[in-house]
């Protein structure tokens, strides 16, 4: 396995992803996918943890409602692991096939953009009209 200077892993550390300082340029499919995916995961977890905290504060005395925050946090993980992984792969595939080196800030925009898009669709009730 090629050494990237961070303990033998091909991928950057999470600190490098958050710090927007990759060890090497994002020019391979896996590196682009990893960065976009992690930003989608982090932003989704942040939004769902805030929602879970609000739900817990409002429903802590309810018999069944007190368990709702656990479901909210679970969806904050499951959603990026499924749909977020697929859409991150599509973004990485487009960048790779076009031969564009992705900047770390663009990975942040794509990852957070996925979460914002899911929020907009969720709040717009567009799915209820289908």
- The string of pLDDT tens digits covering residues 13-67 is 999 999 999 888 899 999 999 999 999 999 999 999 999 999 999 998 888 888 9
Q: Evaluate whether residue 15 is within a structural domain.
A: no
Query: Domain count of the chain?
Result: 1
Q: Evaluate whether residue 4 is within a structural domain.
A: no
| Report field, pTM of the whole predicted structure over 0.95 | no
Q: Evaluate whether residue 63 is within a structural domain.
A: yes
Distance CA 47, CA 39 (A): 12
Q: Evaluate whether residue 123 is within a structural domain.
A: yes
Q: Evaluate whether residue 16 is within a structural domain.
A: no
Is-contact 103 35, C-beta < 8 A?
Answer: no
Residue 56 sits in which domain range? Answer: 24-129
Distance CA 112, CA 42 (A): 8
Return the ∠ at Cα 17 (arms to 13 and 21), rounded to 5°.
Answer: 100
Q: Evaluate whether residue 80 is within a structural domain.
A: yes
Q: Evaluate whether residue 55 is within a structural domain.
A: yes
Distance CA 27, CA 100 (A): 7
Q: What is the pLDDT of residues 85-127, one digit of tens each?
A: 999 999 999 999 999 999 999 999 999 999 999 999 888 887 7
């Amino acid at each position: 396995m090629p050494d990237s200077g961070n303990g033998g892993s091909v991928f950057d550390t999470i600190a490098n992803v958050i710090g927007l300082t990759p060890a090497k340029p994002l020019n391979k499919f896996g590196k682009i996918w990893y960065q976009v995916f992690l930003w989608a995961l982090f932003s989704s977890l942040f939004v769902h943890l805030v929602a879970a905290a609000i739900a817990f504060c409002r429903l802590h005395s309810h018999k069944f409602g007190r368990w709702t925050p656990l479901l909210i946090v679970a969806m904050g993980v499951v959603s990026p692991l499924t749909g977020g992984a697929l859409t991150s792969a599509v973004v990485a595939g487009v960048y790779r096939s076009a031969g564009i080196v992705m900047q770390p800030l663009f990975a942040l925009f794509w990852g957070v953009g996925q979460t914002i898009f899911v929020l907009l669709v969720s709040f717009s009730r567009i799915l209820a009209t289908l």
